[in-house]
Amino acid sequence: MPWTAAGRGVAGVRHTGPVTDLLALSADLPTEAVSAGTALIEEGAEPSRLYVLVSGSVSIERDGVAFARVDNPGAVFGEMSVVLDRPATATVRATSDVVVHVVDDPEGFLVERPGAALSVLRTTAARLDGLTQYLVDVKAQFAGQEGHLGMVDQILDTLVHHQAPPARTGSVRDPEGDHQH
């Protein structure tokens, strides 16, 4: 199931969507051709690059199990690792020959290009919305069941109420945010 929000509106306002936005925002960046079967991102790898799909198809795998296929130009990969500053939670593998725009400075790209961070946020929100809707459907199907199916309420509660760790106020000149005025 490809997770994107192309054409989806926020509060009824229609926009071109993060897919088109990211493709346009990365159009001047270098491209890389990747052969079918090659991993663009390996699960557990430290954050280093973002990739924006130009053409082809990739699968998203976790613990060796493919759980999504993405083939829409403009889809972004590697953003979770970069934004959360932690190792990749999944492997992104080309299922066909793929061409991607390569973002070698992901944080700079997200901060310095107007709209890039919002576009990635929309993509991430659309993915979370899709996952939440799936869990709501599962909850409705298995309401009152015992065991792991009965835990959907707890999973939804955790997803809905999870907050990121506190923001760090550091900068390049003061990485720990300890500077006193």
Which pLDDT belongs to residue 110? 94
Q: What is the mean pLDDT of the chain?
A: 80
Task: Identify the pLDDT of residue 3.
Answer: 32
Question: What is the CATH code of the structural domain delimited by 17-112?
Answer: 2.60.120.10
**pLDDT confidence of residue 162:** 60
Q: Tell me the pLDDT band of 16, cut-offs 50, 70 and 90.
A: very low
pTM strictly above 0.85: no
The residue extents of the domains of the chain are 17-112, 125-161
Better-scored residue on pLDDT, 65 or 19: 65
* pLDDT of residue 45 exceeding 90: yes
* pLDDT at residue 6 tops 50: no
Q: What is the pLDDT of residue 167?
A: 53
| Mean pLDDT score, 33-55 | 96
pLDDT in tens, 143-167: 777 776 666 667 666 766 666 555 5
pLDDT digits (tens, 9 = 90+) for 62-95: 999 998 899 999 999 999 999 999 999 999 999 9
SS3 per-residue string spanning the chain: CCCCCCCCCECCECCCHHHHHHHHHCCCCCEEEECCCCEEECCCCCCCCEEEEEECCEEEEECCEEEEEECCCCCEECHHHHHHCCCCCCEEEECCCEEEEEECCHHHHHHHCCCHHHHHHHHHHHHHHHHHHHHHHHHHHCCCCCHHHHHHHHHHHHHHHCCCCCCCCCCCCCCCCCCCC
Residue 29's pLDDT band, with cuts at 50, 70 and 90, is very high
